Structure 1
Amino acid sequence: MAGANGSPLKFKKFSDEATSLKVSEAKDKHDYNAVVSDFIPLQRILPDSRPEVCLVLRYPDDLPPVSVVIPFRNERPSVLLRTVYSVLLHSPARLLREIILVDDGSNEPDLGSQLDVHVASLPKVRLIRKAVNVGLMMARQAGIDASSADYFITMDSHMECSPGWLEPVVYRLVQKPKALVCSNIGSINNDDFGVSPNTEKFGVAFDFPFFTWNLGQQIARFTKEYSESRKNNTEPMWIGTVMGMIIAMRKDWFQQLGGFDPGMHIWGSEQIELSVKVWMCGGEVEMVMWSVGKVGMVNLFRVAYTWLDQPYRQVVIDYSGEKPSEVDVGDVSERRALREANACHSFHQRGAAKLCHEGFSYTKRKETKSTIRWECSQRRSENCKGTVTSDNPVS
């Protein structure tokens, strides 16, 4: 069977020019080989890639159910539906309350009535349609608002879940109600759709996402001491920010923090905004070990003006190279009011200290109009040395 067990589907060469052109156009449109995807069964079963130590773990029988929210816009139907089926096939029935698909104003004919009919035949799946494109964050927000479970997971519409992916996520949220959790992410080849789970030592590579002083996503590295101190690969790992393609939280905690920023209309920096406010307001950002595969400047400034204090805010502005007067960030007063209502820490108290979180090795030096020198060489934040200065007035 094509693509069975996550295997790649390779074509040596298409015999006719028309098919080759079709493949090329589909790849340009979707950034993956949509024609190959159409040959792979929707109900593809992925192998269980968990280490042996994880297979013997047992979770409480009374874990709560979750709502899974999947926003999409003009996704290839075969890719979208394979995402849905992977959740249905690899999730214990008692833990899956519902799957909510949110169509963000798609205009592809194949995502019209044909999708309506298909979704109507599936258990626990419902479809919400937006008449116009509202953007990824607001599409996610619409799904979360409509969800009925106390916990939710949002995921991209071009992912496939492997066995055992859901239980550790839900369990961690029960253990830590204020956590923002994501899964360990493997990859799906965008040309042949072969699935490659993340099977590094301890179940995850010891690189993890954080952000630089321009609020750009970057990959940092845990210290050797922290890596070696982990007893096994079943323990969740602290990370600086989630990657965004899959996140899980308690719904009431997410809504208390204001949900997604309505001023962010397109994707970009939303995962940083969510991560920063979670740990500034008393929560944690973590990654659990089981694998899921995955085939803008205004947002950045909104994060800076809402969650960063001076001089850090000015550092971000200076690093961006943009003039604040030329970037319309809109009104952030309501977002800052949420910060006050939740008694969140200042960025210096909670944010800068996170750069020196135990087990996090980070060195960043850059000379610009604002000077940043930050060295985190010790395992505990109180032992770290750092200075942040700005040539601009501190407000």
Structure 2
Amino acid sequence: LKALEAEELRLQEESVRLHQINIYLSDRISLHRRLPERWNPLCKEKKYDYDHLPTTSVIIAFYNEAWSTLLRTVYSVLETSPDILLEEVILVDDYSDREHLKERLANELSSLPKVRLIRANKREGLVRARLLGASAAKGEVLTFLDCHCECHEGWLEPLLQRIGEEESAVVCPVIDVIDWNTFEYLGNPGEPQIGGFDWRLVFTWHVVPERERVRMRSPIDVIRSPTMAGGLFAVSKKYFEYLGSYDTGMEVWGGENLEFSFR
């Protein structure tokens, strides 16, 4: 038993070294798990006119992502998004070299009619990889997600409704926390925050200012924010292109969110 525990510990440490999260444990968790609901009860009272909401293409770029976190993201999107709103899920492989992301991944996705796999011919970096997905998207709205996310039931509707109301809105969800080591869903214990930046042009989080709290008529109203974190957001495809999309000269992630926010 001790030898087994020691071997498991070694495998866990190796997975953390490779991925910065405990993939050894993630691989033992269902790809189809559902997260517990920890949202404001008022959210459940919201009603949506599904026939008049825009459709979306969900774009997920990845590079050498672990199997379980990538597939859990895909299945989470498929299983929590209303079929009438989800045009497609576009996976963009940014020239990964891990064996499990080649034929095995293509075979896994081939049975999922709404999922498309695009492969870059060379390493592009997050920004240009996302642009590959955006250029191929058929949905009216582009929804960008990181490749290690899990979605709640009802995550998509409020994003699309806001864009349906105002095409120039760029909408970000509240980002909850999943523990990197235990994969326990921790939710978001604090109040929602808005984005800002410091004089080094580094993204920062800030409490919602009093003037914005006064403007809000309900705790589930939209909160206006000067900048966004950039990993997860939805934007009208037409408006994204009108703004000039991303700067194709950006090689890695970390500045595209502020640059796009300033536009």
Instruction: Settle same-fold status: TM greater than 0.5.
Output: yes
Q: Name the SS of the counterpart of 1:210 in structure 2.
A: strand
Q: Which runs of 5+ in 1 are unaligned?
A: 1-12, 278-395
Q: What residue number does 1:235 align with?
A: 221
TM-superposition CA deviations, 1:75-105 (whole Å, max 9, x none): 0010000000110111111010000000001
CA distance in 1, matches of 2:186, 2:134: 29
Letter in 1 for 2:223: M
Letter in 2 for 1:169: L
Larger radius of gyration: 1
CA distance in 2, matches of 1:151, 1:215: 28
CA distance in 2, matches of 1:118, 1:14: 34
1:250 aligns with 2:239: no
Where does 1:13-92 land on structure 2 (aligned, <5 Å)? 15-62=4-51, 63-92=53-82
Q: Is the Cα–Cα contact under 8 Å of residues 73 and 103 in structure 1 kept in the other structure? A: yes
Superposed displacement of residue 48, structure 1: 2.8
Q: Name the SS of the counterpart of 1:134 in structure 2.
A: coil
Q: Name the SS of the counterpart of 1:99 in structure 2.
A: strand
Superposed displacement of residue 132, structure 1: 1.8
Q: Which runs of 5+ in 2 are unaligned?
A: none
1:169 aligns with 2:159: yes
Q: What residue number does 1:374 align with?
A: none
Q: What residue number does 1:299 align with?
A: none
Superposed displacement of residue 268, structure 1: 1.2
Superposed displacement of residue 65, structure 1: 1.2
Gap change, CA 1:263 and 1:93, over 3 Å in 2: same
Superposed displacement of residue 196, structure 1: 1.8
Using the size of structure 2 for normalisation, the TM-score is 0.94
Using the size of structure 1 for normalisation, the TM-score is 0.64
TM-superposition CA deviations, 1:122-149 (whole Å, max 9, x none): 1300100113211000000000100001
Superposed displacement of residue 14, structure 1: 7.7
Superposed displacement of residue 206, structure 1: 4.6
Structure showing the higher strand proportion among its residues: 1
1:180 aligns with 2:163: no
CA distance in 1, matches of 2:215, 2:246: 35
Gap change, CA 1:225 and 1:254, over 3 Å in 2: closer
CA distance in 2, matches of 1:130, 1:113: 15
Gap change, CA 1:66 and 1:238, over 3 Å in 2: same
Q: What residue number does 1:107 align with?
A: 97
1:271 to 251, 257, 260: 257
TM-superposition CA deviations, 1:222-243 (whole Å, max 9, x none): 3345435533222110112111
Gap change, CA 1:175 and 1:199, over 3 Å in 2: farther
CA distance in 1, matches of 2:3, 2:260: 45
Q: Is the Cα–Cα contact under 8 Å of residues 212 and 223 in structure 2 kept in the other structure? A: no
Q: Is the Cα–Cα contact under 8 Å of residues 79 and 158 in structure 1 kept in the other structure? A: yes
CA distance in 2, matches of 1:14, 1:57: 53
Where does 1:149-164 land on structure 2 (aligned, <5 Å)? 149-164=139-154
Q: Is the Cα–Cα contact under 8 Å of residues 211 and 240 in structure 1 kept in the other structure? A: no
Q: What residue number does 1:373 align with?
A: none
Q: Name the SS of the counterpart of 1:15 in structure 2.
A: helix
CA distance in 2, matches of 1:38, 1:251: 35
Q: Is the Cα–Cα contact under 8 Å of residues 62 and 91 in structure 2 kept in the other structure? A: yes
TM-superposition CA deviations, 1:224-278 (whole Å, max 9, x none): 454355332221101121111101111111112111101101111110001110x
What is the aligned-residue identity percentage? 36
Q: Is the Cα–Cα contact under 8 Å of residues 49 and 199 in structure 1 kept in the other structure? A: no
Residue correspondences, number: 261
Whose RCO is larger (CA < 8 A, sep 6+)? Answer: 2
Letter in 1 for 2:82: P
Q: Is the Cα–Cα contact under 8 Å of residues 47 and 163 in structure 1 kept in the other structure? A: no
2:248 to 262, 265, 271: 262
